Amino acid sequence: MNQISERLASLSPSETLAMSQKSNELKAQGIDIINLSVGEPDFNTPDHIKAAAKKAIDDNFSFYSPVPGYMDLRKAICAKLKDENALEF
């Protein structure tokens, strides 16, 4: 027999998760709804992002990054902003 402490048993479910559940129920009923409750995307993670995350773990990028960020990433962001937005940093 599992016992839960009185203190734990007195906790109420998360209101945010309850709103998300309600949104999912309404969506399942065919109602067009935008769920802004939990801050999650309404689409699956794209495969190229999953692959990049797996590679990062395999390459041991699993520790805190330097405070200013990795130099390669900072350069890539600057190049993107220059190429796509005509911004130079």
Q: Residues of 4-24 as b/e, b for ≥16 C-beta within 10 angstroms? A: eeeeeeeeeeeeeeeebeebe
Q: pLDDT band for 45, please (50, 70, 90 cuts).
A: very high
Q: Are residues 33 and 64 in the same domain?
A: no
Number of domains in the chain: 2
Answer whether residue 31 shows pLDDT above 70. yes
Answer whether residue 7 shows pLDDT above 90. no
For 51-80, what is each residue's pLDDT tens digit?
999 999 999 988 999 999 999 999 999 999
SS percent in the chain: helix, strand, coil, step 5 = 50, 0, 50
pTM of the model: 0.50
Amino acid at 22: K
Q: Are residues 54 and 69 in the same domain?
A: yes
23 neighbors 37 (Cβ within 8 angstroms): yes
For residue 21, give its domain range.
13-43
Higher pLDDT, 4 or 58: 58
Q: Are residues 39 and 49 in the same domain?
A: no
Q: pLDDT band for 50, please (50, 70, 90 cuts).
A: very high
